[in-house]
Each structure stands twice: as C-alpha cells, then as structure tokens.
Structure 1
Amino acid sequence: MRARHIVLRLAVLMAAAAPASASADPLPHQVGALFAMTPDQFAAAADVKDDALETVATISTMRGWQQHDGLLRIVNDDGFFRAFVDKTSGETRFQVYHMVRYTEQHRARFEVVNYETPDGPVSVPLIPIGRYRGSCRVYVGCAYLETFAFPVDETLLRTLAAKYLPGRVAVWKYRLKAKTGAERDEGFAPAEIAGILIAVDHYRAAHGLTGAQTR
C-alpha cells in the first residue's frame, strides 16, 4: 500500500549513511530508478495546462515518476509539484500535492506538515483537497483516498534544486502529521525540484514573463 513511501524512506536512510559523493554500491532497483532521473527528464515530463480562457497556467510533475503497484498498476502513494503561473505578471505559486490510499485501520486524516528549510523545520497546515471512500471488505474495512497540498516558497525550491548532483542519493524531506498522532515521512529528489523550476522558467521565457518570485 505504501511503495513510494518505502522507496523514499530507504533513500533517506541510504543518504544518511553514505558520504555526499555517489556510492560505488548499486542502488536497489526502485531507488535507483528514481535517482537516475535528471532535472531535464522531469521538466520534459511536466504537464502544462493552459488555454486562451485561463488566466493562470498550471504546470505539474505528476507524470515525472510514480510507483505502480500490483497487477492493476495502481498508484497508492504519490507526491508531486504544481506551479501556478500568472499569465500577466509571471508571478508563480508553488505547491506540493500529495495523495495516499489506505485501509480503514490506517485511517489518519493528515492535518499538518513539517518540512525542511536551511533555517530549520517549518510547520504549516495542510490544504485539504479531497477524501474519498472506496470499496469495503470484511476484516480489512474500507479503502480511502486522501488528497491534500501545501505551499512552498520559490526561493526555497531554488536553494534545494542547487543541491542536485548526478547519481547522488539525497532527499528533501517533509513529515505529514495527523490528529490521531500518526506521522508519515515523505520527500522529493532534488532532480524533481529542479525539473519543476526548469519547466516554469521555460514557460515564462516562451511567454515573455518576468517571473517575479512569490509564495
């Protein structure tokens, strides 16, 4: 149920245990697939939603990397970036969008996120987007899909993107916290952070926008 979560937790442990330089040891397949991605690959996979009737263009890294589980290749846990570019001023808001599926016994209702910054962790409330109940089965209970988001400052993202090094296992970490006391550690590879910024910069340049930084 939590494949992406497991991949990123493994990456966090490996990054903590290894020196800053790339390790000579081969990475587990799932970790290696994620950290083999480059910023340009994430930027090329970015999804841009824009047309003449919209005042804001939306760019996301949803298609950049996902873990598909089981025969049905269901995405049970996924996080990605969304950028909202004002088509007049170029001002851009960035957001982490996260979705997670879980069964009744693991029901959480996440409300707060703590994330890393150069000045220490920051805590902000999550923005609820949706919570859906799926099929229910005896002994297991009902399945749930929960989606939420939180804003991230562009200046912080550019600082994090600058840490990208090819082959290096590194993660920008954030912790989801629920009223029940449940916690869930997640994160992003610097390549994905750099990728969303490249995609936004390309959009701004193509439309003659200055791209003033904003939250």
Structure 2
Amino acid sequence: MRFLSASVIMLAFSPSAVIAQLIAGEEVIEPSAKQMQQLQALTPEGARHALTISDDELETVVNITSEKVWKSRGKFTDKVRSDNFLRAFIDKSSGAVRYQLYQEITYSGEWRRITTVNYATPNGPVSAPVVSIAKDVITCDYGLCVYREAVGFDIPAKQLEAIAASYAPGQSRLWRFRFKGQSGLDWEDRLAPAEAAGVLLAVRAYRAEQGN
C-alpha cells in the first residue's frame, strides 16, 4: 500500500492532512479523517484487481506487487516521505512463496542506517532484520543533504494471513511496523489489511491455476 509516498523534492501525507510527532526519536504519522475513510473503503477484491503480476515463459519466479493499490502524494514541505507495498515471489517449479514488505524513506539530516524493524503480531511485537535494497543521496544543495533508503523485510505467511484476517469492512485496524535506525531516529508506517488480503487472494488463484 502506498500509505505514506516517497519521491524527491512519494507516500507521505501533507502537513495539512496529518499529525506528525517526534517523541524520543520516533516519528509517527497519523492519517487524516479523509485518508482513513479512503483506506477503510479498500476491499480485498479491490486490492487484488490493482496488483501488478510480472511473469513470462523465461522467468522462474512470479513477482506480484501491490505498488498500485494505494497511492498518496507528498509535498515538498513534508519532513519525511515514504512509500511501501507488498511483494510476493512465487517459485514456479515448487509453488513456494516468499512475502516481503518493500519500503522507501526519503528524509534530510543524516543517514538513518535502518537495520531492523519491529512489527505488531497477535502475540505482541516482533523484531526482524531488514535488507538494504538501495541508498541514494538525492541532493546536498545549500549544505542540507536529502537521502533515500529502500529496505525490505520478509513477512511469514502466517503473519500476513493474520493481517488479512483482521480486515473488517469499514473498520479495519491498520497494521503497524517501526523501522529502527542506528542514527537513533525511527520511522513508523502502516499497511491496510485489505492490501494483504488482496495479495493472498492473487497468490492462491495463481497457485490453483498451476495445480500447486
């Protein structure tokens, strides 16, 4: 889900639409009432139809992404901009599936050096390692550098199923996760259960077609 947006100077909410807090090194973004209404209107089937499926006869792995399920544009004045979505990788020979949450964060100041993530589960928070996918220096004009980090972390199938199972039409609780930066600055983001449910529907449909 593009819950919050990352691009240079995409998924963050504009200052007029969100409440941003900086508490003990932790930045928290709250969606506006309008944005929450839009998120609550998202359904598993709606999310499924917005997925992108990459596959052809020369690929050994099918890639399903939810990048286009939710998109919210940030503004130049946003302190932090972020973008996240789910990716499912299906091995075409075995039918095995790996799920990953992909996240981009664009910010200024210093490198946050994100190495771990804490995410909510039915049994309490769990910590997991983060894979660094890309790091870019967007600009260092006027003595202020703007950085972009792209990271990912694997989500166990049971955990994604639990997130999807929490979908409730019009009243879903967003799934929360917090990236821990070695710089001391953390970043919290969220995902709509309908998005997770849509990805699972697509994976099940593909595996059924292949007889897996």
Class of the TM-score when normalised by the shorter of the 2 chains: 0.7 to 0.9
Deviations 1:129-157 (A, max 9, x none): 00011123215x12221100000111111
Corresponding residue of 1:207: 210
1:56-205 residue pairs with structure 2 within 5 A?
56-70=61-75, 76-103=81-108, 105=109, 107-139=111-143, 141-205=144-208
The code of the aligned residue for 2:179 comes to L
Q: TM-score of the superposition, structure 1-length normalised? A: 0.80
Work out which of the residue numbers 2, 12, 16 in structure 2 matches 1:3: 12
Work out which of the residue numbers 40, 48, 53 in structure 2 matches 1:43: 48
Task: Report how far residue 53 of structure 1 moved.
Answer: 1.0
Task: Report how far residue 169 of structure 1 moved.
Answer: 4.0
Higher helix fraction: Structure 1 or Structure 2? 1
Task: Report how far residue 4 of structure 1 moved.
Answer: 4.8
Task: Report how far residue 207 of structure 1 moved.
Answer: 2.1
CA contact (8 A) 1:79 1:99 kept: yes
CA contact (8 A) 2:84 2:102 kept: yes
Q: TM-score of the superposition, structure 2-length normalised? A: 0.81
CA contact (8 A) 1:135 1:143 kept: yes
Deviations 1:123-182 (A, max 9, x none): 11110000011123215x122211000001111111221111111141111110011111
Query: Number of paired residues?
Result: 189
Task: Report how far residue 98 of structure 1 moved.
Answer: 0.4
Deviations 1:40-89 (A, max 9, x none): 11111111111111111010101100211249xxx941111100001112
The code of the aligned residue for 1:178 comes to G
Task: Report how far residue 194 of structure 1 moved.
Answer: 0.5
SS, match of residue 161 in structure 2:
helix
- Structure 1 runs of 4+ aligned residues shifted over 3 Å read 4-9
Gaps of 5+ in 2: 1-5, 20-27
The code of the aligned residue for 1:31 comes to M
The code of the aligned residue for 2:30 comes to L
> Pairwise CA RMSD of aligned residues?
2.3
SS, match of residue 131 in structure 1:
strand
Q: Percent identity?
A: 37
